Amino acid sequence: MFRNFVVKENRTTRAIVANMFLATISLFVNGFGVYLTIQANIGAGPWDVLNLGLSNTLGILYGTASVAVSYAILGIDIALKEPIGIAMFIDAFVVGKAVDLFNKLNVVHKCDSLWTGIPVMIIGLVIMAYTQYTYMSASLGCGPRDTLLVALAKRAKKIPIGIVSITLLSLATFIGWLLGGPVGIGTLICAFATGPIMQMAFASVKFNATKVHHQHLATTIKIFMNKEAA
């Protein structure tokens, strides 16, 4: 069923626009998944601990903090000369602001116990996993954080990517905790359950993320300018 969401390859302006729309909708719904993990109220995911810590410290909205962190990471990705796709810019903005919208609408009240918090968090992670599939299917770039992880892993060489990932998430969590971000059992659930849940989601729709060829921003611009893509 989910495979029907996949749009044709990004060889024309129409296909790119369609896939940008797919990526935007996917990321908006992904934001709802993130929102649920926060409303679970049992400790946020590592990056959200940082975002919420910044939000509390600076007195700004969660989404504003998320956008600032995302674009800062995107800037690092560019500085490290990693492949950049147009959807990465969409990602950096849409998810955080979607969370702000759901907060404003007060769609789901904060949970008041582990018995309600854990199921809500798991539902949020499942939503995030499936929307990650539809987002990646657009083939217009991975998220800024995923790109940073790959960049650091390539430069770490002999250090396994799993260790690099744990180090990066631990650093984000620690800084967020120092800033007053919520750390709890939910933080551990997000850190260790996100990968397996995503793997199960991808397997259920027979999606292999390693086979996706993400279009570079320069190629996208060439197609928009009606020039032959390299």
Q: What is the pLDDT of residues 92-150, one digit of tens each?
A: 999 999 999 999 999 999 999 999 999 999 999 999 999 999 999 999 988 899 899 88
User: Where in the sequence is the domain holding 216, given as residue range(s)?
Assistant: 2-224
Which residues, 6+ apart, have CB-to-CB distance to 22 below 8 Å?
5, 7, 134, 135, 137, 138
Closest CA to 55 of 225, 212, 226, 180: 180
Domain assignment present for residue 230? The answer is no
What type of residue sits at position 6?
V
pLDDT band for 213, please (50, 70, 90 cuts). confident
pLDDT at 76 > cutoff 50: yes
Would you state the pLDDT for residue 227? 57
How far apart are the C-alpha atoms of 149 and 163, rounded to whole Å? 10
87 and 220 Cβ atoms separated by less than 8 Å? no
Would you state the pLDDT for residue 174? 97
Would you state the pLDDT for residue 210? 77
pLDDT at 3 > cutoff 80: no
Would you state the pLDDT for residue 127? 97
Which residues, 6+ apart, have CB-to-CB distance to 65 below 8 Å?
51, 52, 54, 55, 58, 96
pLDDT at 1 > cutoff 70: no
Would you state the pLDDT for residue 8? 59
Q: For the chain, give the mean pLDDT.
A: 91
Number of residues that this document lists for the chain: 230
Domain assignment present for residue 167? The answer is yes
Would you state the pLDDT for residue 49? 97
Task: State the DSSP code for 4.
Answer: G
33 and 99 Cβ atoms separated by less than 8 Å? no
Would you state the pLDDT for residue 230? 42
- Judged by average pLDDT, the poorest of 18-22, 62-66, 68-72, 210-214 is 210-214
Which residues, 6+ apart, have CB-to-CB distance to 196 below 8 Å?
none
Give the three-state DSSP class for 213. Answer: coil
Domain assignment present for residue 93? The answer is yes
Instruction: Sort residue 60 into left (φ over 0), alpha (ψ -120 to 50) or beta.
Output: beta
Domain assignment present for residue 197? The answer is yes
Domain assignment present for residue 32? The answer is yes
Would you state the pLDDT for residue 2? 46
Which residues, 6+ apart, have CB-to-CB distance to 223 below 8 Å?
10, 11, 12, 13, 16, 229
pLDDT digits (tens, 9 = 90+) for 136-188: 999 998 889 989 988 898 888 788 878 888 899 999 999 999 999 999 999 99
Would you state the pLDDT for residue 83? 87
Tally of structural domains, the chain: 1
C-alpha R_g of the chain? 17
Would you state the pLDDT for residue 87? 93
Task: Decide: pTM greater than 0.75.
Answer: yes
